[in-house]
Amino acid sequence: MSQTIAVAFTGASGLPYGLRLVDCLLHAGCRVQLMISPAAQIVASQELDFTLPSRPAEAAEVLNARFSAAPGRLGVYGLQQWFAPLASGSNPPDAYVICPCTMGTLAKIAAGMADDLITRAADVVLKEGRKLILVPRETPFSVIHLENMLRLARAGAIILPPNPGFYHHPQRIDDLVDFVVARILDQLGIPQTLVAKWGAAEGEQGA
């Protein structure tokens, strides 16, 4: 049975990570429940010259076309859509990734402020013992940022800053994006071929 993964785009820099993640999840056969903040729409335009419509149905149409998604695999939910499945512990996703994650979103989740669907879904996932992965794109971190991340890590969240490695000899920006997305997929337990696992080549040669 395929996994249901919730994903949120918030207003931090790094939307290429989020879009690539959704693409990989869909092609892995997952169902994706996507939420998009207004600030993320601005980031999409600024970073990618890509327009994300405000209306969930229109955003779903644009993204389904972009990813060539199978019917029924990608749903987009409005931030005040309180009857969405992921708003209730009776129907939580298998896991939830906020990518990229603003410090404001992270702080709200750390404080238990579930005032929109993005933060409510995080509250649900934590209380139901499901996996919550936060991808905070900020630098440097203040003490407040670090304390909020520590609080969430203690509550069971995974803090996964988008820090690409270089040991795989990236040649393009897409290679750096794929490195981070591969780490997210690894945490979700979803097989990926974006980046070879450490030591895999040596092990295959010695087999």
Task: Give the tens place of pLDDT for each residue, 16-39.
Answer: 999 999 999 999 999 999 999 999
pLDDT band at 1 (very low <50, low <70, confident <90, very high): low
Identify which has the larger pLDDT, 175 or 197: 175
Q: Is 121 left (phi over 0), alpha (psi -120 to 50) or beta?
A: alpha
Task: Give the tens place of pLDDT for each residue, 94-149.
Answer: 999 999 999 999 999 999 999 999 999 999 999 999 999 999 999 999 999 999 99
CATH class of the 4-206 domain in this structure: alpha beta
Measured between alpha carbons, how far is 162 from 139 in angstroms, rounded to an integer? 11
Measured between alpha carbons, how far is 66 from 26 in angstroms, rounded to an integer? 11
> pTM for the complete prediction?
0.94
- Site of tokens 């490695």: 165
